Structure formats: structure tokens, C-alpha cells
């Protein structure tokens, strides 16, 4: 059992507190993305035609591939947590590397998607230069597209940073069956990031 901070009665209590803290943090995340989605809902409601036309310019296949990547990464993350709890250092590290690889693949696909949009001039309203999309409100769709996916991507990047940190500590044996709070918390966070995408994908790519 690892030594716990002096102001907690036990390592158990410390873990419970950290877990609860993570949940509260995720509530703030939900509200932050929630605000953005409310904005999306309002504009979609105001300009349904423009949003419908605009959403046809998103690559559903690429979005779908990314969805698969992220869902799989949630599986490998869950495995990493379980293996760490069981004290299987190598298996846990491999699962973390798997999660990182899937996250990286997600970013690669996103890069391809973004560069297409840049090339076609499908950019936030003020920089929008595409001539095919004639409806005046269509650029707003891309503003929201970049804001939501951009904020999500920022979360993916932060998550990858955390995964690397966890991976190093798992490999060195610091995080193991005795103490794996950080792994579990990063796991929560990663599932949340995954979940956000599960909302963004249909809202942007499918129903637009």
C-alpha cells in the first residue's frame, strides 16, 4: 500500500476523494460543451436549410473511421485500467500504447479533414471563401464545426499528454495494483472525451 497524503485518514479515503473530484470536474466539462451545443441547436433551428446544405460538405466516412478509433481507444483504456489493477505491468503498458496510437490516428484523420476544409475555403464565417455553398448562413455551420471539433481536439491532446505521463509511471512500476488512482482518473477523462465525440459525430456529420 502506498503512503497517503497526511490530511486523509487512509489511502482508500484519498482515492474516493480523487474520484469524486474527477466526477465534479467532468460536470464542468459537460456544461462547457453543453453551452457550445446549445449554440449549435439554436443556429440549426434558425437556419435548417443552410445547416443541411453545409453538413453535406463533411466527410462522413472519415468521421465514421474516427468514431471507430475513439471507441476502440476507450476499450484499450478500460483494459489498461484493469491490467494495472491486476498488477500486469507489460499488458497495462501495451494497452496504454494502444490507446495512444488510436488517439494519434484520430488526430491524423482530423488533419486530413481539416486540410480539405482549408483547401475548399470551408472556414469560420469571417474567412469563408467557398463559392459552391451559396446560402448566406452556411458559414456559421463551419464556425460551429471548427469550434466544437477544435475544443474536442484540444481535449484529445491533453488526454494524450496525460496518457504519456501514465505510461511512464506504469512502465516504471509506480502505478500498479497497490496504487492506480491516476490511471483510473485518466480513464474517466478519456471515456468522457470519447463520449463527447459520440455526440459531435451525429450532430455534425449525420443530421447537420
Partner 1 sequence: MSNYLAAKGLRSWLTTLDHKRIGLMYLFSIFVFFLLGGIFALILRLHLFGWGKDLLSADMYNQFFTFHGAIMIFLVIIPGIPGALGNFILPIMLGAKDVAFPRLNLASYYIFMVGAIFAASALFLRGADGGWTFYTPYSIRTNTTVLLVLTGALIAGFSSILTALNFIISIHKLRAPGMTWDRLPLFLWALYATSIIQILATPVLAITLVLLIAERVLQIGIFDPKLGGDPILFQHFFWFYSHPAVYIMILPAMGVISEVIPVFSRKPIFGYKAIAYSSFGIALIAFIVWGHHMVVSGQSELANFLFSLLTMFVAVPTGIKVFSWVGTMYRGSIHLYAPMLYALGFLELFTIGGLTGIFLATLAIDVHMTDTYFVVAHFHYVMVGGTIMGLLAGVHYWFPKMTGRLYSERDAAISFWSILIGFNVTFFPQFILGAQGMPRRYWHYLPEYTMLNRVSTVGSWFIGFGFLYLMIYMWKAVRYGKASGSNPWSALTLEWQTSSPPPTENFEIDPVVTDWPYAYAPDNVHMAVNK
Site of interaction with partner 1 (CB under 8 A): 5-8, 13, 16-18, 20-21, 24-25, 27-29, 31-36, 39, 42-43, 46-47, 124-127, 136-137, 139-140, 143-144, 146-147, 151
Beta strands in 26-71 (DSSP E): none
**Could you give the CA distance from residue 40 to residue 42 in angstroms, rounded to a whole number?**
5
Least distance (Å) between residue 123 CB and partner 1: 8
CB-wise, 20 or 172, nearer to partner 1? 20
Q: Which residue has the cell 481536439?
A: 153
CB-wise, 32 or 86, nearer to partner 1? 32
Least distance (Å) between residue 21 CB and partner 1: 5
**Could you give the CA distance from residue 83 to residue 99 in angstroms, rounded to a whole number?**
14
Rg (CA), the chain: 20
Least distance (Å) between residue 86 CB and partner 1: 27
Per-position b or e across 116-137, b if 16+ CB within 10 A of its CB:
ebeeeebbeeeebebeebeeeb
Least distance (Å) between residue 54 CB and partner 1: 12
Least distance (Å) between residue 165 CB and partner 1: 15
CB-wise, 93 or 184, nearer to partner 1? 184
With vertex at residue 116, the alpha carbon angle to CA 119 and CA 60, rounded to the nearest 5 degrees, is 150
CB-wise, 4 or 89, nearer to partner 1? 4
**Could you give the CA distance from residue 155 to residue 134 in angstroms, rounded to a whole number?**
33
CB-wise, 8 or 188, nearer to partner 1? 8
Q: Which residue has the cell 478509433?
A: 69
Burial of 172 (0-12, 13-18, 19+ CB in 10 A): exposed
Amino acid at each position: 500500500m502506498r503512503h497517503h497524503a497526511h490530511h486523509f485518514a487512509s489511502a482508500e479515503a484519498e482515492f474516493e476523494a480523487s474520484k469524486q473530484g474527477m466526477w465534479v470536474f467532468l460536470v464542468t466539462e459537460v456544461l462547457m460543451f453543453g453551452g457550445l451545443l446549445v449554440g449549435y441547436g439554436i443556429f440549426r433551428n434558425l437556419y435548417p436549410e443552410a445547416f443541411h446544405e453545409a453538413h453535406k460538405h463533411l466527410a462522413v466516412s472519415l468521421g465514421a473511421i474516427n468514431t471507430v478509433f475513439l471507441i476502440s481507444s476507450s476499450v484499450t483504456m478500460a483494459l489498461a485500467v484493469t491490467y494495472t489493477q491486476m498488477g500486469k505491468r507489460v499488458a497495462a503498458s501495451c494497452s496504454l500504447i494502444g490507446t495512444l496510437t488510436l488517439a494519434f490516428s484520430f488526430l491524423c484523420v482530423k488533419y486530413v479533414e481539416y486540410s480539405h476544409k482549408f483547401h475548399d475555403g470551408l472556414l469560420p464565417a469571417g474567412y469563408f471563401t467557398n463559392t459552391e455553398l451559396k446560402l448566406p448562413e452556411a458559414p456559421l455551420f463551419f464556425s460551429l464545426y471548427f469550434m466544437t471539433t477544435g475544443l474536442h481536439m484540444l481535449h484529445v491532446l491533453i488526454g494524450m499528454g496525460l496518457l504519456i505521463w501514465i505510461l511512464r509511471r506504469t512502465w516504471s512500476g509506480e502505478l500498479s495494483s497497490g496504487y492506480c488512482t491516476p490511471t483510473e482518473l485518466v480513464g474517466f477523462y478519456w471515456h468522457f472525451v470519447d463520449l463527447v465525440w459520440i455526440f459531435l459525430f451525429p450532430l455534425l456529420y449525420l443530421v447537420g
